Structure 1
Amino acid sequence: MDPDPLALQASSADEAVSALYAAHWRRLVRLSVLLVHDQGLAEEITQDAFVALHGRWSRLRSPDSALAYLRQSVVNRSRSALRHRKVVDRHAARERLPEPAPSADAGVTADVRRAEVLAALHTLPRRQREVLALRYYLDLSEADIAATLGISQGAVKSHASRGSATLRTHLAPHLEDLR
């Protein structure tokens, strides 16, 4: 008796997605954290991307494109989460508690520098932030970034250049304070 082709296909999808999960879960979660600033939400976004990939495995043009599909899915789902957050914030109660004051020793820790860089990163337009996160955090090539975001390599160069220049401007005063 011949094996059931649907069962074979499901088995290969399970194995392939499991291998991708083991190899790339952390990096994809970190990418999403850079974009949405929320560890729990980033994990949920990444998990949903893997579930969607598994469901669409049979429709992938090439299994080699699965990682690019996952990256693009994580970026797109992070965008959607940010749009949803904006709508929720817009309709939230007007009274909010004041932000807690930083501790007295926060200025000398590496966490403060990291927070300043992340805050400056989040002042950038969405596309520049995405390009810089993909380039410097995931160390992707311009071609991979272009494929992930669905833009040209020239646009990747332009967004990276503008974003880097803006970050230098925003971070220059903070760098002088730390010297």
Structure 2
Amino acid sequence: MGTDPGIDALYHHRRLQLVRLAVLLVDDLPTAEDVVQDAFAALYRRHGARLAHLDDPEAYVRRSVVNGARSVLRRRRTVRAYVPERAGHVPPPEEDVLLREEHREVLGALRALTRRQREVLVLRYWSDLTEAQIAQTLGVSRGTVKSTASRALDALARRMEGSR
């Protein structure tokens, strides 16, 4: 981001990456965009336009996005507890055009993982974060990240083998 530690530079350099992260966590583009926008708005309200006093503004906003995604998922779970679930999930029509069969299988298998497993894999393989960065983002130990990733990859492999 250069020498300008401002929120504008952070927004322009990382917004798209954070939206992609949020989409993989909440499985909905408009909601993901809202989560990222809310994270930046909260960052601005709390710290203003200049972020020089923050040690790692990027990690701060990434953690805000993950926490925002968790909140969205909690609200969804609460709503589903009181409203009957609709019969079957119909994917958007563009999904068939944009994704080949194996991509849909991988995304389906990823959705079947637990929330934490999905978060660890998305942060590791989509966002290319280190174990330490993932641990910091999720507020867990590196050992938890390692064991969660291992279990998630095993579950993903079993699911993919079962679908073939």
Deviation track 1:42-77 (CA, whole Å, cap 9, x = no partner) reads 00000000011111116x794332111111110011
Match runs of 1:5-154 below 5 Å = 16-57=6-47, 62-93=53-84, 96=86, 98-100=88-90, 110-154=99-143
Q: TM-score, normalised by structure 1?
A: 0.78
The alpha-carbon deviation at position 112 of structure 1 amounts to 2.8
The alpha-carbon deviation at position 102 of structure 1 amounts to 10
Q: Which runs of 5+ in 2 are unaligned?
A: none
Q: Which runs of 5+ in 1 are unaligned?
A: 1-13
Query: What is the alpha-carbon distance in structure 1 between the residues aligned to residue 116 and residue 138 of structure 2?
Result: 9
Q: 1:166 to 1:102 in 2, by over 3 A?
A: same
Identical aligned pairs, as a percentage? 47
Cα RMSD, aligned residues only: 2.7
Q: 1:151 to 1:170 in 2, by over 3 A?
A: same
Which of the two has greater helix per residue?
1
Query: What is the alpha-carbon distance in structure 1 between the residues aligned to residue 89 and residue 20 of structure 2?
Result: 25
Aligned letter for 2:72?
A
Indicate conservation of the 8 Å contact 2:6/2:52, yes or no. Answer: no
Query: What is the alpha-carbon distance in structure 2 between the residues aligned to residue 173 and residue 81 of structure 1?
Result: 30
Larger CA deviation: 74-83 vs 121-130: 121-130
Larger CA deviation: 82-91 vs 152-161: 82-91
Deviation track 1:81-111 (CA, whole Å, cap 9, x = no partner) reads 01101111221246x35555999xx6xx843
Number of residues of Structure 1 aligned to a counterpart in Structure 2: 157
